[in-house]
Amino acid sequence: MRAISLAVTTLCILLTVSTALAKDKKPGKQMDQQAMMELYKQLGTPGEPHKLFASLAGSWTTTTKEWMEPGKPPTESTGSAEMKMLLDGRFLYQEYNAQMMGQPFSGIGIDAYDNLRKRYVTAWIDTMGTSIFLMEGTASADGKTITLLDISKPKGNHLLDRVEELLRERAHPGAIVRQKKPTYARPAPDDLRQEILERSDAVIEALAD
Amino acid sequence: MHDSVFFEDQGIPTATIVSTEFKRAARAQAEALGASDFQPVTVAHPIQPLTRDEVRELADRAFAEIVARLTRG
C-alpha cells in the first residue's frame, strides 16, 4: 500500500511539474529530456527562502499572548520550539510545546518554499484538533517603504548596507530609504522624524554599540 | 532609543539593532520612555575592531530576527 501511495504521489508531482512546464514551453518546440531533468533539478534545489528557514533552526523559548476578548488584556504563556531543517535543507520542521488556555498544547509544523509555484507552504497539526491545517502565501514587503536609519556611529553603515541587500533579495519592498541622524548622542531632529513617519511602513535603526 | 520608541508609538514597526554590551542600557532607556516590552535586535560586541566584511556577517546573522521584529503581531 505504501508503495502504491508513493507511486501515485510521484505521478501527481510529475504531472504538476509537467503542466507548469508546458505553460512555459514555446509552441511547436518540445523540451528535450536533458533540459527537463535540469529544470527538475533546479526546482528541487534549496535557494534563498530555504536559507531564511535555516536561520530559524535551533531551540527557541516562546512567549505567546492570547487576546480572548476585545478590550481585555491578553493572557501570556511561555513555551518552547525545537526547529530543524529536513531533507538536506529543503524543509523547516518545528515541534512546539506550550500552554493554551491553561492546558498543555503541542504542535508540529513543516514549512516549505515551493520553488515551482514560488509560494511558502505550511502544514500544521496540534493537540487541539484532528485536522491538518494547510497554509500558503508569499512573504513579501511589496509596495512597502522601509527606512534604514543610521545613527551615525562608525561602521553602522556597513551593517545597514548588508541589511539593504538582504531586504532587496528576500523581501522585495516597494522602496528602501536611507536616512542618517546628525549624531547618535541625541534623538533625530523633528523634521527628520516627521519625514520618516510620513514615508515609512517600517524602520530599521542601527547600530548602537 | 528615543527614536525607536517614538516610531513604535506612532504605529511604525521598528527594529533597533544594538550590540550585546548596549542591550541592557537600551532596554533601561526604553523602559524609562514607557516601552517596557521593548526588545532590541542584538549583535555581538565589539563592533569597532571588526572589518567591513565581519560587520556584514553580523547583518546576515541578525536578519531573520530583524524581519521577525518588523512582522510581529
How many independent structural domains does chain B possess? 1
From chain B, pick out residues whose CB is under 8 angstroms from the CB of A179: none
pLDDT at A7: 40
Q: What's the burial of A51, exposed, middle or buried (CB within 10 Å: 0-12/13-18/19+)?
A: middle
- Cα–Cα distances in angstroms (integers) from residue A84 to residues A60, A120, A157, A171, in the given order: 11, 17, 32, 23
Cα–Cα dist A181/B73, whole Å:
28
Q: Mind telling me how many Å the CA of B35 is from chain A's nearest CA?
A: 16
Residue A92 exposed, middle or buried by CB count within 10 Å (0-12, 13-18, 19+): buried
What does the pLDDT look like over A125-155, one tens digit per residue?
999 999 999 998 876 666 788 999 999 999 9
Best mutation site among A51, A85, A145, A159 for testing chain B: the one with the most B CBs within 10 Å? A159
Yes or no, beta carbons of A209 and B18 under 8 Å apart: yes
Do the chains contact at B12 and A197, CB–CB below 8 Å? yes
CB distance B20 to B42 below 8 Å: yes
Residues of chain B whose beta carbon is less than 8 angstroms from a beta carbon of chain A are 1-4, 6-7, 10, 12-19, 21-22, 26, 40, 43, 45-48, 50, 52, 55-56, 58-61, 63-64, 66-67, 70
pLDDT band at A166 (very low <50, low <70, confident <90, very high): very high
Confidence of residue A29 (pLDDT cuts 50, 70, 90): low
Q: Cell numbers of A41, please?
A: 533539478
**Structural domain range at position B44:** 2-71
ipTM above 0.90, yes or no: yes
A79 near A97, Cβ under 8 Å?
yes
Q: Are the Cβ atoms of A204 and B17 closer than 8 angstroms?
A: yes
Cβ-defined contact of B64 to A209 (cutoff 8 Å) = no
pLDDT tens digits for range A64-94: 877 777 777 778 889 999 999 999 999 999 9
The CA–CA distances, whole Å, from A185 to A40, A71, A161, A191, B15 equal 55, 38, 22, 17, 19
pLDDT at A13 over 70: no
Average pLDDT, integer, range A19-42: 70
In this prediction the pTM is 0.55
Reported as a pLDDT band with limits 50, 70 and 90, residue A17 is very low
Q: pLDDT at residue B61 above 60? A: yes
Q: Is A89 left (phi over 0), alpha (psi -120 to 50) or beta?
A: left
Distance of CA A175 to the CA centre of its chain: 19
| Residue A10 in this model has a pLDDT that exceeds 80 | no
pLDDT band at B68 (very low <50, low <70, confident <90, very high): confident
More confident residue, B47 or A52: B47
Cis status of the peptide bond prior to A182, with omega within 30 of 0: no
Comparing A140-144, A200-204, B24-28, B55-59, the range with the smallest average pLDDT is A140-144
Cα distance between residue A115 and residue A36, in whole Å: 15
pLDDT score, position B73: 52
Separation between Cα atoms, residue A70 and residue A77, nearest integer Å: 19
